[in-house]
Chain A
Amino acid sequence: MEAFFSNIDKVVDGFSWTVRLTLLSALFSFILGVILTAMRVSPVPLLRGISTAYVEGIRNTPLTLVLLFCGLGLNSALGLHLSDQVMWDVFWWAVIGLSAYTSCFVSESLRAGINTIPVGQVEAARSLGLTFTQNLRLIVIPQALRTVVGPLGSVLIALTKNTTVASVAGLGVQEASRQMKLMFDQGIAPVLPTFFGFAVGFLILTLPMGYLFGWLSKRVAVVR
């Protein structure tokens, strides 16, 4: 364990990148997820079709493939660059890949939340003269969000752990599990304590998330 703690600055640096990837991807996947859900329940068949195709397509593709496509396909083969600095170029591609993937799960959770809202409410809102957008913004999405806080917490935990794929799938982004492998490769730390230390590091990130979302979901639950 001592060898692990003597390299604690490297470990902390690795996790700082995990946190950056997680927070940015969480933000973008939440925004995209809400948009996808709105499209999914919209009265326009084309929007519904696009949303369904996107969610079903990406949700059922392994994350490794999604990120490989971003790294080797879009970034390398097509030469799309998001920054002159290679480090940030791959970082933003990882954020895009993770957001594209996670937004599907956000969208599916939200859609489940929408299904819990009694149809009568939507009908009442319509009869009061609210437009579709007003209905969604004022009645449906706020209630749906409050219902799915718990599931969204699970999505966030999954996202945190999924950031580890970003370092192996075509991008080589700096994050905690890459730091761990570097420590093995350079032989500067024994294997078992290092595994254990990094696992605990992830627990420190994800356990509070679980509790926070659990507490929040009780607090904001819609009483019916």
Chain B
Amino acid sequence: MRVRRISTALAGTAAMVLALTACGTAEVGGGEGGGEGGGEGGGDTITIGVKYDQPGLGMQEGNAPVGFDVDVATYIAGELGYTPEQIEWTEAASANRETFLQQGTVDMIIATYSITDERKQVVDFGGPYYVAQQDILVSADNEDIQGPEDLAGKTLCSASGSRSANNIVDDMGIDAQLREAGNYSECIQLLTDGTVDAVTTDNTILAGFASQQPDAFRLVNNPFGEERYGVGLPKGSTDRCEQVNQAITKMWDEGKAVEFLESNFGETGFEYEETQPEIEGCA
């Protein structure tokens, strides 16, 4: 009796294993067939990585982030067939943007993500949806500094890991002293105290900080260089990239892009671009 029961159990297990294996094979086959179109329409949610600490662009308020990048992301997701409720926001710090895309942690990254040749080797980019330029933020009562060349002999704040201040000191050869801070919030604090004379980085980022205290700071509005903000996508998502580019063009044609810029940066005196930057082709 006992022996028979065990052998029945064994036979059952073996059958199950067989069935599971068969199942697995079938699934792999099916997955390959429908892989490319899997995310579109049918998907329940889309995970988008944005900044959570960048006022005006992506800043956490309550449970969800707000800002220009978040508005753009919501619009593009809408064009891809996702309602705002279907968007899952994830914080994407600068350092882990590539990793998030490579590991599939997020479907898309819209987080002041500049398109560069190095990054193009590991991820795909839609857009650019906006071209930011480097600019200088000073305190409101400072009239001396009107452009990068006025920074000679001044103290400039550089955020850890950012090349913006080095652009001025090393590449443009302007003799300014650098004070390094952990991030731009700390730079703004140093600027408020008068420990540094100026903060330099993308004008969108500066305008975002200025929007928190419009009376305390002045954006010099003498931009130089360019940072093309793209929509980061996993490597090899050409179809998704084309859809994103269509959505970006539509966003500018409908005037939504300017609307988003005005609502996020309107009070700061930031002279933002009002025309769509030229779309780069998808790889």
Q: A168's closest neighbor in chain B, by CB? A: B182
Query: A170-B181, A170-B182 known; A79 and B160 CB under 8 Å?
Result: no
CA distance A182 to B165 in the complex (A): 13
Please state if B160 and A76 are interface contacts (CB–CB under 8 Å): no
Query: Which listed segment binds A: B9-17, B188-196, B272-280?
Result: B188-196
Q: Nearest-CB distance from A87 to chain B (Å)?
A: 7
Please state if B189 and A72 are interface contacts (CB–CB under 8 Å): yes
Q: B residues within 8 A CB of A167?
A: 160, 180
CA distance A75 to B179 in the complex (A): 12
Q: B residues within 8 A CB of A79?
A: 193-195
Please state if A168 and B160 are interface contacts (CB–CB under 8 Å): yes
Main secondary structure of the interface of B (DSSP, over half): mixed
Q: B residues within 8 A CB of A85?
A: 177
CA distance A167 to B160 in the complex (A): 9
Judged by a CB distance under 8 angstroms, whether A138 is at the interface is no
Please state if B155 and A76 are interface contacts (CB–CB under 8 Å): no
Q: A residues within 8 A CB of B178?
A: 86
Q: B162's closest neighbor in chain A, by CB? A: A185
Main secondary structure of the interface of A (DSSP, over half): helix
Tally of chain B residues near chain A (CB < 8 A): 18
Judged by a CB distance under 8 angstroms, whether A172 is at the interface is yes
CA distance A187 to B118 in the complex (A): 9
Judged by a CB distance under 8 angstroms, whether A90 is at the interface is yes
Q: Nearest-CB distance from A206 to chain B (Å)?
A: 25
CA distance A185 to B181 in the complex (A): 15
Judged by a CB distance under 8 angstroms, whether A218 is at the interface is no
Please state if B195 and A76 are interface contacts (CB–CB under 8 Å): yes
Partner of B180, one of A72, A76, A172, A186: A172
Contacting residues of chain B (146-161) with chain A, CB-CB under 8 angstroms: 155, 158, 160-161
Interface centre among B163, B177, B180, B193 (most CB of A within 10 A): B180
Judged by a CB distance under 8 angstroms, whether B253 is at the interface is no
Partner of A172, one of B160, B163, B193, B194: B160
CA distance A72 to B190 in the complex (A): 7
CA distance A72 to B177 in the complex (A): 18
Query: A76-B195, A79-B195, A185-B161 known; A87 and B182 CB under 8 Å?
Result: no
Please state if B160 and A77 are interface contacts (CB–CB under 8 Å): no
Judged by a CB distance under 8 angstroms, whether B61 is at the interface is no
Partner of B189, one of A76, A90, A181: A76
Contacting residues of chain A (165-196) with chain B, CB-CB under 8 angstroms: 167-172, 178, 181-182, 185-187
Please state if A172 and B179 are interface contacts (CB–CB under 8 Å): yes
Query: A170-B182, A185-B161 known; A86 and B177 CB under 8 Å?
Result: yes
CA distance A172 to B179 in the complex (A): 7
Please state if B186 and A181 are interface contacts (CB–CB under 8 Å): no
Please state if A170 and B186 are interface contacts (CB–CB under 8 Å): yes
Q: B157's closest neighbor in chain A, by CB? A: A172
Please state if A77 and B118 are interface contacts (CB–CB under 8 Å): no
Please state if A76 and B193 are interface contacts (CB–CB under 8 Å): yes
Q: Nearest-CB distance from B177 to chain A (Å)?
A: 4
Q: Nearest-CB distance from A73 to chain B (Å)?
A: 10
**0/1 string, A78-102, CB within 8 A of B gives 1:** 0100000111001000000000000
Please state if B161 and A76 are interface contacts (CB–CB under 8 Å): no
CA distance A187 to B178 in the complex (A): 21
Q: B residues within 8 A CB of A170?
A: 181-182, 186
Interface centre among B193, B194, B195 (most CB of A within 10 A): B195
CA distance A46 to B160 in the complex (A): 44
CA distance A178 to B194 in the complex (A): 25
Query: A172-B160, A181-B161, A187-B118 known; A76 and B177 CB under 8 Å?
Result: no
**0/1 string, A120-132, CB within 8 A of B gives 1:** 0000000000000
Q: B residues within 8 A CB of A186?
A: 163
Please state if A72 and B160 are interface contacts (CB–CB under 8 Å): no
Interface centre among A75, A76, A85, A186 (most CB of B within 10 A): A76
Q: B179's closest neighbor in chain A, by CB? A: A86
Query: Can you list the 9 inter-chain pairs with the closest CB atoms, starting with the nearest?
Result: A172-B180, A76-B195, A185-B161, A76-B193, A86-B177, A86-B179, A77-B193, A76-B190, A86-B155
- 19 additional contacts, CB 8 Å, given A76-B189, A170-B181? A72-B186, A75-B195, A76-B193, A76-B195, A79-B193, A85-B177, A86-B179, A87-B177, A90-B179, A90-B180, A167-B180, A168-B160, A168-B182, A169-B182, A171-B180, A172-B160, A172-B180, A181-B160, A185-B163
Instruction: Please list 21 pairs of residues, one from A and one from B, whose beta carbons are closer than 8 Å in the complex, sorted by A's number.
Output: A72-B186, A72-B189, A72-B193, A76-B195, A79-B195, A85-B177, A86-B155, A86-B178, A87-B177, A90-B179, A90-B180, A167-B160, A170-B182, A170-B186, A171-B180, A172-B158, A172-B160, A172-B182, A178-B180, A181-B161, A185-B161
